[in-house]
């Protein structure tokens, strides 16, 4: 059976279209698989209903890496369709289907969250920041006087967009083939790449660029300032909040609470 | 003004779908939303700045598993719209945006729970093939669009005039406090960004 990869990858963009608190992406996964199931079980409506029911089980994974699951599950659906006349083998293979679906989903969820949410997304932001700085757009300051602001902004946004989306699209496309053609030995193609190494390299690049942005930003923030009481107060307050933000990370307190606390503290200080 | 506001609400509601429901190309991230609204309202630099500040302040939130983080899209969008339509100072507008971004997480949780409640009924219809999953998803996306549209419009209607009413009574000291807190954001955020790239495993 020939599978139109692009069609299913496109449908997988709607994976979270019916995100619900009970079974998460189950309807989205069924939506992605639907034409495939209709085609596969066109001659056996009874098995089609069972396949729909099966595909409505709880499903949750990282959307950028769902194609690994999609490929592996489609392959197993084919096995199920072939053995549907033999009840015992069918039940065995159906159990296998459940194991494949849940194990691939949880593994790619963990990998995808680490790679795309925790690494590539912040990396794309810091890359945009770097492009802006190189174009002398210091967005941490109050005003800007750059002649080619529009061009620099477009470049920065394009960098951020492609840094994130090109790897996502490649993963979606390649992941489908790897998942479909992969075996349990290669964990449906997932062991073909050293994910930890990729993540470590990207995180290191991110650290270096963030340090650059931080130091460069501080330099331009205080450039030309005369050392007086006002600037000393600014430096002390800024340093305290920077130290505090590092400190509160130990308890996993988000930055947003530090901002709200700063609003409160500054209001109290200025009022009295 | 009302038509313009409705247009902005529709645009933001449409782009917000990218956060979770459709695609996830990250065009809904504050960096993009901020810059787009900034360009449309004639202040590209401010839009870019608000977008970056919002991304930095929300850097430690990840939409992992069933977690519903505050909406950076709503925060950046409302900050700029409040500034544009009601001439709200950007540091006050940012505070309002943050509050609304947090409030929207509750709306999102409500919608997801609501879907969870009707799931059994939807599943039955899907298995009986009385509806297609495409129809279910389309309805869900449409409801999400309407919810975001209404949320932004309501926030604007409530907080905008409220600020205009209170504006003259706000002392200069309060302005200074909010302004300083606003300019603390990127530095605190950059620390968070640096730590987010840490390769050391977390200790329990």
Per mean pLDDT, which range of A30-39, A233-242, B103-112 is the poorest? A233-242
Q: Output the DSSP codes for B95-121.
A: HHHHHHHHHHHHHHHHHHHHHHHHHHH
**For residues A247 and B181, what is the distance between their CA atoms, to the nearest angstrom?**
18
CB contact under 8 A, B198 and A255: no
Residue B203 has pLDDT above 80, yes or no: no
Which one of B39, B40, B113, B126 would you mutate to disrupt binding with A, by most A Cβ within 10 Å of its Cβ? B126
* pLDDT confidence of residue A173: 94
* pLDDT confidence of residue A13: 96
Residue B82 has pLDDT above 60, yes or no: yes
* pLDDT confidence of residue B49: 93
A54 band by pLDDT with thresholds 50, 70 and 90: very high
Q: Give the SS3 label for residue A20.
A: strand
Provide, rounded to the nearest whole percent, the portion of chain B with pLDDT above 90: 73
**For residues A48 and B59, what is the distance between their CA atoms, to the nearest angstrom?**
44
Residue A32 has pLDDT above 90, yes or no: yes
Cα–Cα distances (Å) from B6 to B81, B124, B135, B150, B153, in that order, read 11, 37, 26, 10, 7
* Phi, psi values for residue A20, rounded to 5°: -130, 155
> Is the CB of A130 inside 8 Å of chain B's CB atoms?
no
Look over chain A and give the mean of its residue pLDDT values, rounded to a whole number. Answer: 89
Q: Give the SS3 label for residue A2.
A: coil
More confidently predicted of A191 and B111? B111
Q: Give the SS3 label for residue A88.
A: helix
| A138 contacts in chain B (CB < 8 Å) | none
More confidently predicted of A148 and B203? A148
A246 band by pLDDT with thresholds 50, 70 and 90: confident
Question: Between residues 127 and 146 of chain B, which touch chain A (CB distance below 8 Å)?
Answer: 127-129, 132-134, 136-138, 140-141
* pLDDT confidence of residue A233: 83
* pLDDT confidence of residue A143: 61
More confidently predicted of B33 and A249? B33
The Cβ of residue B169 has, within 10 Å, a number of other Cβ atoms equal to: 7
Per mean pLDDT, which range of A203-212, A250-259, B39-48, B108-117 is the poorest? A250-259
Q: Which tens digit of pLDDT belongs to each residue from A87-108?
A: 888 888 889 999 999 999 999 9
* pLDDT confidence of residue B63: 81
* pLDDT confidence of residue A144: 62
Average pLDDT over residues A154-177: 94
Q: What is the CA radius of gyration of chain A?
A: 25
> Is the CB of B64 inside 8 Å of chain A's CB atoms?
yes
Residue of chain B with shortest Cα separation from A31: B133
Of the candidates A140, A259, A267, the beta carbon closest to that of B174 is on A267
Q: What is the CA radius of gyration of chain B?
A: 19
Average pLDDT over residues A43-65: 91
CB A163 within 8 A of CB A53: no
Average pLDDT over residues A206-227: 86
Residue A142 has pLDDT above 70, yes or no: no
What ipTM describes this predicted complex? 0.91
**For residues A46 and B184, what is the distance between their CA atoms, to the nearest angstrom?**
62
> Is the CB of B123 inside 8 Å of chain A's CB atoms?
yes
> Is the CB of B67 inside 8 Å of chain A's CB atoms?
no
Per mean pLDDT, which range of A89-103, B32-46, B95-109 is the poorest? A89-103
* pLDDT confidence of residue A145: 65
Cα–Cα distances (Å) from A220 to A267, A271, B126, B182, B187, in that order, read 27, 30, 59, 18, 13
* Phi, psi values for residue A43, rounded to 5°: -90, -10
Q: Give the SS3 label for residue A24.
A: strand
DSSP H or E segment with residue A98? helix A87-112
Of the candidates A122, A139, A255, the beta carbon closest to that of B49 is on A139
CB B41 within 8 A of CB B56: no
Q: Give the SS3 label for residue A178.
A: helix
Residue A261 has pLDDT above 70, yes or no: yes
Which one of B99, B143, B199 would you mutate to disrupt binding with A, by most A Cβ within 10 Å of its Cβ? B199
For the question of whether the overall pTM of this predicted structure is more than 0.80, the answer is yes
Give A45 to chain B, closest Cα distance, Å: 10
Residue B138 has pLDDT above 80, yes or no: yes
CB contact under 8 A, A27 and B136: yes
The Cβ of residue A256 has, within 10 Å, a number of other Cβ atoms equal to: 23
**For residues B46 and B91, what is the distance between their CA atoms, to the nearest angstrom?**
11
**For residues B54 and B150, what is the distance between their CA atoms, to the nearest angstrom?**
22
Q: Enter the DSSP assignment of A97.
A: H
CB contact under 8 A, B193 and A122: yes
């Amino acid at each position: 059976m020939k599978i139109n990869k692009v069609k299913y990858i496109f449908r997988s963009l709607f994976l979270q279209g019916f995100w619900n608190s009970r079974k998460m992406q189950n309807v989205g996964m069924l939506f992605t698989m639907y034409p495939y199931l209709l085609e596969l079980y066109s001659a056996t409506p009874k098995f089609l209903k069972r396949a729909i029911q099966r595909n409505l089980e709880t499903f949750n994974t990282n959307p950028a890496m769902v194609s690994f699951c999609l490929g592996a599950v489609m392959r197993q659906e084919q096995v199920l369709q072939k053995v549907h006349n033999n009840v015992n083998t069918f039940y065995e293979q159906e159990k296998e289907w459940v194991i494949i679906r849940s194990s691939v989903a949880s593994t790619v969820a963990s990998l995808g969250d680490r790679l795309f949410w925790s690494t590539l997304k912040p990396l794309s932001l810091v890359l945009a920041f770097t492009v802006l700085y190189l174009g002398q757009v210091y967005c941490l300051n109050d005003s800007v006087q750059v002649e080619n602001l529009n061009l620099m902004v477009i470049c920065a946004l394009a960098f951020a967009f492609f840094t994130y989306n090109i790897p996502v699209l490649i993963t979606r496309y390649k992941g489908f083939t790897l998942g479909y053609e992969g075996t349990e030995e290669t964990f449906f193609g997932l062991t073909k790449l050293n994910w930890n190494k990729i993540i470590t390299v990207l995180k290191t690049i991110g650290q270096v660029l963030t340090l650059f942005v931080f130091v460069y930003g501080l330099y331009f923030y205080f450039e030309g300032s005369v050392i007086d009481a006002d600037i000393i107060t600014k430096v002390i307050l800024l340093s305290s909040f920077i130290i505090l933000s590092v400190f509160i990370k130990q308890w996993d307190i988000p930055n947003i609470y530090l901002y709200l606390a700063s609003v409160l503290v500054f209001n109290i200080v200025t009022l009295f | 003004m009302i038509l313009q506001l409705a247009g902005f609400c529709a645009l933001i509601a449409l782009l917000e779908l990218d956060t979770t429901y459709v695609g996830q190309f990250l065009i809904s991230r504050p960096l993009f939303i901020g810059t787009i609204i900034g360009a449309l309202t004639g202040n590209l630099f401010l839009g870019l700045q608000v977008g970056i500040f919002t991304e930095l302040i929300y850097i430690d939130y990840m939409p992992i598993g069933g977690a519903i983080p505050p909406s950076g899209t709503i925060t950046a969008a409302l900050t700029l719209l409040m500034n544009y339509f009601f001439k709200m100072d950007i540091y006050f507008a940012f505070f309002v945006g943050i509050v609304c971004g947090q409030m929207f997480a509750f709306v999102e949780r409500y919608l997801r729970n609501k879907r969870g409640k009707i799931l059994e009924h939807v599943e039955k219809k899907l298995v009986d093939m009385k509806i297609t999953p495409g129809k279910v998803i389309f309805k869900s996306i449409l409801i999400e669009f309407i919810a975001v549209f209404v949320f932004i419009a309501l926030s604007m209607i409530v907080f905008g005039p409220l600020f205009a009413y209170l504006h003259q009574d706000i002392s200069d000291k309060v302005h200074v406090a909010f302004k300083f807190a606003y300019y603390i954001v990127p530095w605190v955020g950059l620390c968070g960004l640096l730590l987010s790239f840490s390769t050391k495993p977390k200790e329990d």
